[in-house]
Structure 1
Amino acid sequence: MEFGIFTVGDVTPDPTDGRTPTERERIKAMVAIALKAEEVGLDVFATGEHHNPPFVPSSPTTMLGWIAARTERLVLSTATTLITTNDPVKLAEDYAMLQHLADGRVDLMLGRGNTPPVYPWFGQDIRQGIPLAVENYALLHRLWREDAVDWEGRFRTPLEGFTATPRPLDGVPPFVWHGSIRSPEIAEQAAYYGDGFFHNHIFWPAEHTRRMVELYRKRYAHYGHGTPEQAIVGLGGQVFMRRNFQDAVREFRPYFDNAPVYGHGPSLEEFTRETPLTVGSPQQVIERTLTFRDTAGDYQRQLFLMDHAGLPLKTVLEQIDMLGEEVVPVLRKEFAALRPAGVPATAPRHPATTRPGD
């Protein structure tokens, strides 16, 4: 099973001292977090894509290309690539280029984002979000697999005999996850293509996650890609750890209460009870994460949000140390022991990442 971290790249004041990092500091912190992830033996680093304050990761391929040059093993992914407002031609070329530079250590997660104004900024209509996602990915899928593409659709100019360059590394496109927390159409899309489905269930109760994942698994089998149990599923979550529960809650509470994504709403206690957010000791994180299997079945990728809401870099790096040294080794062992034969342990990897000497 793959374990990693994802970042949304928010620039948020630290509620304990009021200091706001500069954009440069936040960007450099994200790179430091990725390097720490490789250092402690995690498998994946993923970055979101945003084009509005208080977020800074507007160019995921630039950041991931820089990280690729400084790492050797880490799978580099996106936590959201905006399939609705990016041109599929540019996505095909950008991520194939990154794939070559990173020797195949690339996949991406497609999503529609959570910022309505981004649509008109890029010349699109939010009311067409689902049709955009469906049509744009249909084109992206072909651009990576066909050398000359003829295309005509609703949302971009036609193509005639178009070849995206560079071609995918060794002719193998990056693996694609379709990320959604609320849209069954996206689960259907992932199933249709036999791609992965990522449910970032940091906001939602377990029963909602269960329904979305079950829909994807059922439709994956319907389209002939394998059994429902063989479908490729990823989950997201957030954790904050200290040696004991009381210290973790006391330290994390001001960050939770002021978080730009979910602050000023339900209490920390309510949120941890109803969602996968886990605040406590490493052992509590292990026990809670193992219960995700009860919701989603045997799944292949678990990503944790570690750096949200103004947490200082020093604290985040301490969290990643605990995750890599104390939590993930136990989770690997426990999930492996529970996984039935014939169920994939990880998402598909590019063959280049498993070559001798790599």
Structure 2
Amino acid sequence: MQFGIFTVGDVTPDPTTGRAPTEHERIMATVAIAEKAEEVGLDVFATGEHHNPPFVCSSPTTLLGYLAARTNRLVFSTSTTLITTNDPVKIAEDFSVLQHLSGGRVDVMLGRGNTGPVYPWFGEDIRQAVPLTVEKYALLRRLWREEVVDWEGQFRTPLHGFTLAPQPLDGVPPFVWHGSIRTPEIAELAAFHGDGFFANHIFWPASHTERMVQFYRRRFEHYGHGTAAQAIVGLGGQVFMRRNSQDAVDEFRPYFDVAPVYGHGPSLEEFSEQTPLTVGSPQQVVEKTLGFKEYVGDYQRQLFLVDHAGLPLKTVLEQLDLLGEVVATLRVEMEKDRPADVPDAPTHDSLLAASRKDTEDD
């Protein structure tokens, strides 16, 4: 089981002081957060992709390449890479380079994004979001797996005799997660290819996440990739902790109330009751997180959002110290009664070993 954090890279004023960090401060704070994540024993750091203010994560692979040089163990991912508005050739190139720089410590989460204006900025039509996703991903898979690609589709100029440079590290493409909040077609796409499915799991009630994940599991089994229980599932979530639960609620409330992702709506208490958001003590975070597998089954990756809504860097680093303690407990508890045939999250090493075994079997 992998545990980690993800960021959306928002530049939000601290509601308790009124001061917003500069873009430079926010980027460098993200670096400090990732380094702290490795220090406290987390497994994964992921960054989103946005191309508009108030966000600074417009070039995920640039950030992740820099972080790879400053860390030794973290796996880097995205949350998400916009398959709809990026060129598959450029995605394939960027992540191949990142594989080589990081020694294979990278995978990718693909998604459609939730910012409508980004589509025309990159010459695409939001009404074609799902067809764009399907076609571009089909091309991306071929670019990572075929030495010479001849291709023609609906949304992009044809390729004739194209060879990706560099090729994926060890000839093994990065593992792909497909991220979605509400779109069953994306769960179907993940299942069809035997890829991972990542349910954002922040905004919606548990019943919705349960339906999406169980649909993906059934379709994964339908396509012959393994049993439904062996499907590769990831979940998002957000936590805010203090040793005393009421202190956590009092401190986080002003940030929640104006958060660009979910502020100005239900109260903190209502949102916490209806969604995976956990604001309280470390033990409360452990208990609520352990409850996730009651409705999604045993899963492979849990990522937490900890730096959203204008929280100051000092506070975020304190959250990571607490999260390190929580994850140490979750690692033990999550393994209890976990069936032996439920796989771990794929890594470069495990994918390489599987590839070599397939070659030997042939």
Q: Same fold (TM over 0.5)?
A: yes
Name the aligned partner's letter for residue 343 of structure 1.
V
Match of 1:50 in 2: 50
Whether the 8 Å contact between 2:201 and 2:235 is mirrored in structure 1 is yes
The aligned counterpart of 1:334 is 333
Number of residue pairs matched?
Answer: 353
1:348 matched residue in structure 2: 346
Matches within 5 A, 1:197-216: 197-216=197-216
Local SS of the residue matching 1:237: coil
Distance in structure 2 (CA, Å) of the matches to 1:226 and 1:352? 17
Kept after mapping to 2: 8 A contact 1:104/1:353:
no
Q: Are positions 1:149 and 2:167 aligned together?
A: no
CA distance in 1, matches of 2:351, 2:310: 35
Stretches (4+) displaced over 2 A: 352-355
Alignment of 1:228 onto 2:228: yes
Cα distance per residue 1:149-202 (max 9 Å; x no partner):
111001100011111110000000000000001100000000011000000010
Partner of 2:82: 82
1:103–1:115: structure 2 CA closer, same or farther, 3 Å change rule? same
Aligned-partner Cα distance in 2 for 1:104–1:51:
27
Partner of 1:119: 119
Distance 1:57 1:353 in 2: 28
Q: Is 2:341 aligned against 1:322?
A: no
Q: Aligned letter for 1:219?
A: R
SS state at 1:262 partner: coil
Three-state SS of the structure 2 residue aligned to 1:28 is helix
Partner Cα separation in structure 1 for residue 315 and residue 190 of structure 2 = 36
TM-score, normalised on structure 2? 0.96
Checking the alignment, whether the CA contact within 8 Å between 1:47 and 1:79 is kept in structure 2 is yes
Deviation at 1:351, TM superposition (A): 1.8
2:275 is aligned with 1:272: no
In structure 1, stretches of 5+ residues that fail to align are none
Distance in 1 (CA, whole Å) between partners of 2:282 and 2:309 is: 20
RMSD: 1.1
* Aligned match of 2:360: none
TM value normalised by structure 1? 0.97
| Per-residue deviation, residues 38-92 of structure 1 (Å, max 9, x unmatched) | 0011000000000001110000000000000000100011010000000000000
Partners of 1:51 and 1:327 in 2: how far apart?
33
Q: Look up the match of 2:191.
A: 191
Shift of 1:338: 2.6
Write the deviation string for residues 18-50 of structure 1: whole angstroms up to 9, x where unpaired.
000000000000010000000011000000000
Tell me what 2:356 maps to: none
Q: Which residue of 2 aligns with 1:261?
A: 261
Q: Say if 1:9 and 1:55, in contact at 8 Å, map to a contact too.
A: yes
What is the 5 A alignment of 1:7-26? 7-26=7-26
Q: CA deviation at 1:203?
A: 0.1
What does the per-residue CA deviation read over 1:213-259, in whole Å, with 9 as the maximum and x for residues that have no partner?
00100000111100000000000000000011110000000000000
**SS in structure 2 opposite 1:109?**
strand
Contact 1:105–1:353 (CA under 8 A) maintained in structure 2: no
Shift of 1:100: 0.3
Q: Could you say which residue in structure 1 is the equivalent of 2:357?
A: none
Aligned to 1:311, the other structure's residue is in SS state: coil
**Unpaired segments of 5 or more residues in structure 2?**
354-362
For residues 276 and 2 of structure 1, the distance between their equivalents in structure 2, rounded to whole angstroms, comes to 18
Query: Within the alignment, does 1:312 sit opposite 2:312 as a pair?
Result: yes
Letter in 1 for 2:316: V
